[in-house]
Amino acid sequence: MLEVRNLTKSYNRIPAVDGVSFAIRPGEILGYLGPNGAGKSTTVKVLMGLIDPTTGEIMFNGRDVRGDWPSFLKHVGYVPEEPHLYPQLSGREYLQLVGRLRGIPKATLEPRMDEMFRLFGLWEDRHSRLSSYSKGMRQKALLSSALLGNPDVLVLDEPFSGLDVNAAIMLRTLIRALADEGKMILYSSHVLEVVEKICSSVVILRKGKAVAQDRIERLRDLLSQSSLEGVFTQLTEQEDPADKVRGILAAMKN
């Protein structure tokens, strides 16, 4: 089980994430939601060891990971929101780099890479440089690299970004299948329809604080909303979009 306890990250004493706690059990997909600047990416960066938390604990299978991030990250596959890649590498070279850094021997790595390229539809472009990949292709390369090490935990930050409809349907099915195999999945996204379809429970952030954390059906019942979107809007106190629309229309004509 992956457990985050009272996680706080402050910049110049201003908390970006403030006392957030959640747990993901094997087979569970946890949706991690919030408007822009709510602290989703900061939480993910802390989980990936990119930034140090100010306070709080991250436990994996009962052990605090902060003493040994590499051991924890061996069990993690990560798809970042922005496709940060080395543009000079080809798709194959990138996967080879990730596989080697994960210590996967050549005999296992080569066929696994080939399968990933075929299944994600990148076979023809595997020797092209990543700089020439479209956004969807980069996303597929990132997904392949995240799955390459057969991780126990998947941290997916907007994984559907740039994917076409067929690839999105395939990924949605894949995420469910991975959960059925006992993987723990943290799914951070703005696309509430997808979250509603695939996540078992959600954490909703607002200004760095978790304002709700429960199963989706229960939240809908508690807040008397028919959809997750209604729950989200109510909890994050979003402005009335009609006011903004009126402002934009006025600006266009000025």
Partner 1 sequence: MQALGFILALIVFLIGSRNMTGGFVESIYQKIREWLEETHSSSFELRRHFLRRFFDSELISDPDQAKVVAGGILAIILSISVMEAQAYFHKYLYLDGLPDPRQFQLSVLSDFLFLITFTMVVVALLTVLQWPSLFPGLRDYLALAGLPLKMRDIFVAKFVALLTFATIAIIAVSEPPSMVFSFVMRGRWATHLPIPGILVGAVLGGFFVFFSLVTVQGILLNILPVRQFDRVSLAFQGLLLALLLCALPLTLSISDLMPYMDQRPAWLIYAPPMWFLGVAELMMDNSEPVVRELSRIAIGSVATSALTAILSYLWSYRRHRVRVIESPGGLESSAVSREWTENLGDRVVPDLRSRAVFGFIAKSLARSRQHRLILTAFGAIALAVICEGFFSLIVESRAWRFGHDNPAFREAVIAAPLALSLFLLAGLRYLFRLPVELRANWIFRMHEPGNGNALLSGAESFLLCWGVMPVAILTLPAEIAVLGVGSGLLSELMCLLASLALMELLLFQIERIPFTSSYFPGKDPPVVTLLKYFLASSFYVGILSALIRVSLPRPAGTILLLVSLASAWLGARAARLRSRQIVRLEFEERADAAVQLLRIERD
Handedness of CA 99, 104, 105, 109 (dihedral sign): negative
| Chosen residue from 61, 71, 173, 227 binding partner 1 by CB under 8 A | 71
Structure token digits, residue 114: 């080939």
Q: Should residue 78 be labelled a site residue for partner 1 when binding is judged by CB under 8 A?
A: yes
Residue 191 identity (one-letter amino acid): V
Closest approach of partner 1 to the CB of residue 48, in Å = 5
SS3 43: helix
> Is residue 162 part of the contact set for partner 1 (CB under 8 A)?
no
- In our burial notation (b when 16+ CB lie closer than 10 A, e otherwise), range 152-169 reads bbbbbbbbbbbbeeebbe
Site string for partner 1, 175-214 (x = CB under 8 A): ----------------------------------------
Stretch that binds partner 1, among 53-61, 65-73, 198-206, 232-240 (CB under 8 A): 65-73
Cβ-based neighbours of 130, under 8 Å, separated by 6 or more: 85, 86, 87, 88, 89, 90, 91, 94, 138, 141
Classify 96 as helix, strand or coil: helix
Structure token pair of residue 212: 């709700």
Comparison of 86 and 244: residue with beta carbon closer to partner 1: 86
Choose the binding region for partner 1 from 50-58, 177-185, 188-196, 203-211 (rule: CB under 8 A): 50-58
Asked if residue 131 binds partner 1 (CB under 8 A), the reply is: yes
Return the number of the residue (87 or 247) whose C-beta is nearest partner 1: 87
CA dihedral for 33, 37, 39, 41, sign (positive or negative): positive
Among 36, 62, 67, 103, binds partner 1 (CB under 8 A): 103
Is residue 146 part of the contact set for partner 1 (CB under 8 A)? yes
Which of 2, 29, 38, 85 is the binder for partner 1 (CB under 8 A)?
A: 85
Question: How far, CA to CA in Å, does 107 sit from each of 74, 75, 76, 150, 219?
Answer: 19, 20, 22, 15, 48
Residues forming the site for partner 1 (CB under 8 A): 11, 45, 48-52, 69-74, 76-78, 80, 82, 84-88, 97-106, 109, 129, 131-132, 146, 155
